[in-house]
C-alpha cells in the first residue's frame, strides 16, 4: 500500500514538473524587481503571445539577487506551431556587470514565429532568477554598433565606508557598468552613433566619502565624476533598485 502511494506521488510530481511555465507575468512587466525564480539546472519558459511580427531583438535582465543566480548561458527558440522548435539565438559565458542590468541580444535571422521558448541555466547550477525578458520588433542595436565607448578609470577612495560596500553589491564590474550607461545616455540624447556628440574618451569615476551627491568636472576628451558614498548609503536605505536608477 505504501509503495502504491509513493508511486502515485512520484507520478504526480513528475506530471507537475513536466508543465513548463508559460507567459510568466514577472518576466514581462518591465520591472526587474519582480522576478521569475526557477530551479537548479536547465530552466525552460514559454512565451505564448501569438506574435504577429518577427522579433528582431530581446533583452534579458538580471535580478537583485546575487550573481550566482544570473543566467550564464541561454538559448532562445521559436516555433510556428508550438510543437517544433528552432534555435533563434544562443548565448554562452554571459555575465551581468550589475544588478537589474540588461543584456541586449539582436536576432540575426528573425522570422514570423508565433511562440518563443527560453532555455537558461546558471554557471554553477544554482537556482535561476530572472528579472525580465522583453521582446522587440526592431533591432535595438541598429545604428549603435560603432558607438565610441570611453575608457574608464574607476577608483574607490574610501573602501571602508558602508556606501562603498553597497556599491560593490550593486555593481560587479564598474568599468563595464559605466561604459554601458554611457551608451544608454547617448541613446537618449541622439538618434544614432554617427550623430555629432562630445568626444569623451575617458571617464575618471571616483567613489568618495563626503556630504553630497555627485559632481562632474573636466571637459572632453576627459571627464571626471565623483559620487558620494554617503549618498549611496542613504539611497540604498529605500531600495537597491532605486540606488541603481540613481547611479
Whether residue 217 has pLDDT greater than 80: yes
pTM attached to this predicted model: 0.88
Question: Which letter does DSSP use for residue 161 in this model?
Answer: S
Instruction: Determine, yes or no, domain membership for 36.
Output: yes
Helix 162-170 vs helix 229-236: crossing angle, to nearest 10: 70
Strand pairing class (115-121; 129-130): unpaired
Same domain, 112 and 32: yes
Structural domain that includes position 189: 151-246
125 and 32 in one domain? yes
Give the SS3 label for residue 110.
coil
Q: Using an 8 Å Cβ cutoff, are 33 and 242 in contact?
A: no
pLDDT at 93: 98
Same domain, 77 and 168: no
Residues 126 and 172 in one domain: no
pLDDT tens figures, 61-97: 999 999 999 999 999 999 999 999 999 999 999 999 9
Q: Specify if 158 maps to a domain.
A: yes
- Domain check: are 165 and 195 in the same one? yes
DSSP state of 17: H
**In the prediction, which pLDDT does 8 show?**
39
Assess whether 48 and 99 both reside in one domain.
yes
Q: Is the residue at 1 inside a domain?
A: no
CATH of the domain at 127: 2.60.120.260
In a shared domain, residues 35 and 106: yes
Amino acid at each position: 500500500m505504501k509503495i502504491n502511494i509513493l508511486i502515485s506521488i512520484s507520478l504526480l510530481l513528475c506530471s507537475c514538473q513536466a508543465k513548463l511555465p508559460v507567459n510568466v507575468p514577472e518576466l514581462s512587466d518591465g520591472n526587474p524587481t519582480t522576478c521569475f525564480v526557477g530551479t537548479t539546472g536547465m530552466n525552460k519558459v514559454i512565451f505564448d503571445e501569438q506574435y504577429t511580427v518577427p522579433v528582431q531583438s530581446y533583452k534579458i535582465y538580471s535580478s537583485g539577487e546575487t550573481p550566482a543566480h544570473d543566467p550564464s548561458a541561454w538559448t532562445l527558440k521559436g516555433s510556428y506551431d508550438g510543437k517544433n522548435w528552432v534555435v533563434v539565438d544562443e548565448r554562452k559565458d554571459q555575465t551581468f556587470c550589475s544588478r537589474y542590468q540588461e543584456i541586449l541580444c539582436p536576432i540575426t535571422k528573425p522570422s514570423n514565429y508565433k511562440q518563443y521558448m527560453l532555455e537558461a541555466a546558471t554557471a554553477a547550477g544554482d537556482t535561476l532568477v530572472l528579472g525580465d525578458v522583453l521582446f522587440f520588433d526592431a533591432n535595438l542595436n541598429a545604428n549603435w554598433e560603432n558607438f565610441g565607448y570611453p575608457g574608464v578609470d574607476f577608483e574607490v577612495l574610501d573602501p571602508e565606508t558602508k556606501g562603498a560596500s553597497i556599491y560593490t553589491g550593486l555593481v560587479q564590474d564598474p568599468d563595464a557598468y559605466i561604459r554601458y550607461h554611457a551608451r544608454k545616455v547617448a541613446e537618449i540624447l541622439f538618434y544614432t552613433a554617427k550623430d555629432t556628440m562630445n568626444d569623451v574618451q575617458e571617464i575618471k569615476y571616483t567613489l568618495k566619502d563626503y556630504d553630497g551627491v555627485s559632481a562632474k568636472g573636466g571637459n572632453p576628451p576627459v571627464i571626471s565624476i565623483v559620487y558620494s558614498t554617503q549618498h549611496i548609503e542613504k539611497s540604498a536605505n529605500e531600495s537597491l533598485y532605486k540606488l541603481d536608477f540613481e547611479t
